[in-house]
């Protein structure tokens, strides 16, 4: 089942020089391809929309500040079961709970600075792709 998903390599991943490592893991999966990729510093308006469901939570403001703190690699990945698949590669939100072998399990220690974002459903992916790549449908 071919799908699309929106993946962010967060500012901690870019700052730490982990883009190649993480992109390599995605590229090596069979039947997946990266169909859009751009490095950009996200603005507050975009982040407020992206993280709208978390507004008011204690971690919201520090999360937005962190996400504004430097460039993010924004990409669209397409292919076989990518929504579930990229989330499996990433591991759970808390990097300490994430198994070694996953991106967060291998490289993260802090919940906020957990290296990657991946859409949690096909519906979220459609919404997020429209937000980050307007015009791509």
The rounded distance, in Å, linking the Cα atoms of 3 and 106 is: 26
112 near ligand CMP (CB under 6 A): yes
Q: Which of 41, 48, 59, 99 binds ligand CMP (CB under 6 A)?
A: 59
Establish if 131 lies at the interface with ligand CMP (CB under 6 A). Answer: no
How many residues bind ligand CMP (CB under 6 A)? The answer is 7
Neighbours of 63 (CB within 10 A): 18
Residues assigned a catalytic role: 117
> Per CB under 6 A, which of residues 67..106 are in contact with ligand CMP?
93
Which of 111, 122, 131, 133 contacts ligand CMP by CB under 6 A?
A: 111
Query: What span, in angstroms and rounded, lies between the C-alpha atoms of 77 and 100?
Result: 23
| Identified binder of ligand CMP from the candidate list 89, 114, 119, 125, rule CB under 6 A | 114
Give whole-number Cα distances, 42 to 33, 39, 52, 73, 98, in Å.
23, 9, 15, 10, 26
User: Which stretches of 4-113 are DSSP H helices?
Assistant: 11-15, 19-28, 44-50, 60-67, 82-90, 103-107
Region binding ligand CMP by CB under 6 A among candidate stretches 23-31, 37-45, 79-87, 107-115: 107-115
91 to 5, 35, 116, 130: CA distances (angstroms): 16, 22, 10, 25
CB of 85 to ligand CMP, least distance (A): 16
Annotated binding site for ATP: 10, 59, 87, 93, 104, 114
Binding site for ligand CMP (CB under 6 A): 59, 63, 93, 111-112, 114, 117
């Amino acid at each position: 089942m071919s799908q699309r998903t929106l993946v962010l390599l967060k500012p901690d991943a870019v700052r730490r020089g982990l883009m190649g490592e993480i992109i390599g893991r995605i590229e090596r999966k069979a039947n997946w391809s990266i169909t859009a990729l751009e490095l950009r510093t996200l603005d507050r308006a975009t982040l407020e929309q992206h993280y709208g469901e978390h507004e008011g939570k204690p971690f919201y403001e520090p999360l937005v500040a962190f996400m504004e703190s430097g460039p993010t690699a924004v990409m669209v990945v397409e292919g076989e079961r990518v929504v579930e698949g990229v989330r499996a590669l990433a591991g759970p939100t808390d990097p300490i709970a994430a198994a070694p072998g996953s991106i967060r399990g291998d490289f993260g220690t802090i919940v906020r600075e957990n290296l990657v974002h991946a859409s949690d459903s096909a519906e979220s992916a459609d919404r997020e792709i429209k937000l980050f790549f307007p015009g791509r449908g």
